[in-house]
């Protein structure tokens, strides 16, 4: 048998079984950003969840997917179906697991899955407790991100690179007015004249060696150091 022959192509093809139209699950999101999740080992394997809110949650209804196992060279690939419940759960888990400050329980984005196909009306009517729980979990996660951002901002002496987009989003969603929410595109880090490390020129003290590199600004701010 030659590779590329009609008989070989027939035996190596992937024969997909009919899809169960009743096997549906729903991914719900009140997270204010679009979610794009790709799973290259299954088909279908690309999932997009629009940005949502508590008042207007976004939904993505998913069906089952499949992956294929090779048996031998004489038989077609064996289809291994994956239920919609597993797909929906994996979309949430694989995307959220590993996010900063997310513990996948009471500190996590407001994204969850439900068995069955839900419309917005059915979701708001039947799953309000789930939405309330997701909102509380997301709020606690936002608060944790803001605390981390405050620490990073202080330790980096106001380096804008220490604050990521999720931290800024969290502060805005909580209605907080943080110094690190400003537009720092103009700020350019410069070298400390004492130790050579990069520092924010808006601050007169180097965060690494603690040298006062801008005495005029230090005097204006009335900065004093213990002897």
Report if residue 25 sits inside a domain.
yes
Answer yes or no: are the C-beta atoms of 147 and 86 closer than 8 Å: no
Strands annotated E in the chain: 25-29, 35-38, 46-49, 58-62, 65-69, 78-82, 111-115, 190-191, 198-199
Report if residue 161 sits inside a domain.
no
Average model confidence (pLDDT) for the chain?
87
Overall average pLDDT of the 189-193 stretch? 83
* Non-local CB neighbours of 107 within 8 Å, separated by 6+ positions: 101, 137, 140, 141, 144
Residues 11 and 92 in one domain: yes
Listed ranges 39-43, 66-70, 213-217; the one with the highest mean pLDDT: 39-43
Report if residue 147 sits inside a domain.
no
Residues 44 and 132 in one domain: yes
Report if residue 1 sits inside a domain.
no
Domain boundary among 139, 166, 198: 139
Residues 23 and 132 in one domain: yes
Residues 27 and 95 in one domain: yes
Band (pLDDT 50/70/90 cuts) for residue 4 is very low
Domain boundary among 77, 109, 139: 139
* Non-local CB neighbours of 40 within 8 Å, separated by 6+ positions: none
Retrieve residue 178's tokens.
């943080």
Residues 18 and 112 in one domain: yes
Comparing 127 with 6, the larger pLDDT belongs to 127
Nearest to 107 by CA among 144, 54, 57: 144
Q: Quick: pLDDT tens for 59-104.
A: 999 999 999 888 777 777 888 999 999 999 999 999 999 999 999 9
CB burial of 61-99 (b: ≥16 within 10 Å; e: otherwise) equals ebbbbbbbeeeeeeeebeeebbebbebbbbbbeebbeee
Residue 220 pLDDT exceeds 90 = no
Report if residue 175 sits inside a domain.
no
Comparing 2 with 155, the larger pLDDT belongs to 155
Report if residue 70 sits inside a domain.
yes
Band (pLDDT 50/70/90 cuts) for residue 185 is very low
Domain interval for residue 220? 189-227
Q: Which of 27-31, 109-113, 199-203, 223-227 has the lowest mean pLDDT?
A: 223-227
Report if residue 60 sits inside a domain.
yes
pLDDT for 66: 93
């Amino acid at each position: 048998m030659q590779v590329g022959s009609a008989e070989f192509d027939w035996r190596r093809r992937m024969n997909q079984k009919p899809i169960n139209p009743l096997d549906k699950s729903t991914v719900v999101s009140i997270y204010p950003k679009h979610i794009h999740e790709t799973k290259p080992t299954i088909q279908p394997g690309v999932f997009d969840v629009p940005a949502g809110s508590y008042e207007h949650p976004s939904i993505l209804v998913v069906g089952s997917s499949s992956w294929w196992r090779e048996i031998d060279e004489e038989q077609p690939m064996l289809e291994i179906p994956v239920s919609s419940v597993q797909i929906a759960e994996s979309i949430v888990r694989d995307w959220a697991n590993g996010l900063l400050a997310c513990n996948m329980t009471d500190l996590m984005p407001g994204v969850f899955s439900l068995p069955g196909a839900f419309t917005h009306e059915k979701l708001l009517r039947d799953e309000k407790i789930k939405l309330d729980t997701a909102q509380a979990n997301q709020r606690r996660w936002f608060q944790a991100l803001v605390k981390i951002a405050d620490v990073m901002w202080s330790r980096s002496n106001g380096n804008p690179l220490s604050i990521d987009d999720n931290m800024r989003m969290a502060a805005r969603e909580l209605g907080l007015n943080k110094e690190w929410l400003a537009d720092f595109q103009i700020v350019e880090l410069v070298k400390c004249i004492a130790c050579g490390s990069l520092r924010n020129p808006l601050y007169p003290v180097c965060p690494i060696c603690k040298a006062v590199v801008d005495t005029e600004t230090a005097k204006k701010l009335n900065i004093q150091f213990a002897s």
